[in-house]
């Protein structure tokens, strides 16, 4: 192989790297498929479930509601109250198409992100939407959104039982980027006795679990 061949190979490699970079900036609906189109092979990490990924690739919408949602996720439409309500309905029913929807989480769908955030704009304390945001965060890091959305939810939730669930979920989601949510909430609600006491209990329970002590 001569020097010209080496330069051609290097140029081709650099072009592919630039194409991958543009993909991540553009955030296509199905990142895996787009990467494979560029000539790269998607490899499953040890932590990934190959069976789940194979199931996601073959999943197809089975009814009109699912077709409407897939159409939204595959295109560039703006979310509205109707599509958000449909999303919540279809993802929470007992026979939900888990593999179909999980595919968009794993792909880091920009449309899905926009849909979830739109729903949280209207319903900031919605635990399911917040959990979906946290799940999407596992595939596309969104530190700022996790902090902003969970803090708003904790601020606005007045039911202490629901607040406790939100605070615990927040702590688990933020742990992925080494943010101690419970400690932050303890400082935030220092002047709110009810929420402060709730956070203190959660901190105590977390300490027991970290020390291997389980309460029955």
Which residues have C-beta within 8 Å of that of residue 80, sequence separation ≥ 6? Answer: 118
What whole-number distance in Å separates Cα of residue 55 and Cα of residue 188?
43
Q: How far apart are the first and last CA of the chain?
A: 70
Q: Is residue 10 part of a domain?
A: yes
Q: Is residue 71 part of a domain?
A: no
Name the domain count of the chain: 1
Confidence (pTM)? 0.76
Q: Is residue 161 part of a domain?
A: no
Q: Is residue 84 part of a domain?
A: no
pLDDT in tens, the chain (216 residues): 555 555 555 566 556 655 655 555 444 545 566 666 666 655 555 455 788 889 999 999 999 999 999 999 999 999 999 999 999 999 999 999 999 999 999 999 999 999 999 999 999 999 999 999 999 999 999 999 999 999 999 999 999 999 999 999 999 999 999 999 999 999 999 999 999 999 999 999 999 888 764 444
C-alpha pair distances (Å), 174 with each of 129, 134, 149, 168: 16, 9, 11, 10
Q: Is residue 2 part of a domain?
A: yes
Domain range enclosing 36: 1-43
Q: Is residue 37 part of a domain?
A: yes
């Amino acid at each position: 192989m001569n020097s010209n061949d080496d330069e051609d190979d290097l140029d081709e490699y650099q072009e592919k790297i630039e194409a991958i970079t543009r993909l991540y900036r553009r955030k296509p609906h199905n990142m895996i498929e787009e990467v494979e189109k560029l000539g790269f092979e998607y490899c499953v990490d040890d932590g990934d479930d190959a069976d789940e990924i194979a199931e996601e690739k073959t999943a197809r919408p089975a009814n009109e509601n699912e077709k409407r949602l897939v159409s939204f996720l595959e295109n560039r439409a703006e979310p509205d109250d109707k599509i958000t309500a449909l999303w919540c309905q279809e993802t929470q029913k007992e026979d939900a198409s888990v593999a179909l929807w999980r595919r968009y989480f794993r792909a880091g769908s920009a449309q899905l992100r926009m849909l979830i955030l739109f729903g949280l704009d209207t319903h900031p304390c919605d635990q399911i939407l917040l959990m979906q945001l946290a799940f999407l965060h596992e595939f596309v890091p969104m530190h700022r959104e996790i902090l902003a959305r969970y803090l708003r939810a904790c601020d606005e939730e007045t039911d202490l039982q629901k607040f406790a669930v939100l605070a615990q979920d927040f702590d688990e989601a933020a742990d992925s980027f080494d943010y101690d949510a419970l400690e932050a909430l303890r400082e935030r609600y220092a002047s709110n006795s009810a929420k402060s006491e709730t956070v203190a209990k959660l901190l105590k329970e977390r300490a027991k679990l970290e020390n291997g002590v389980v309460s029955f």
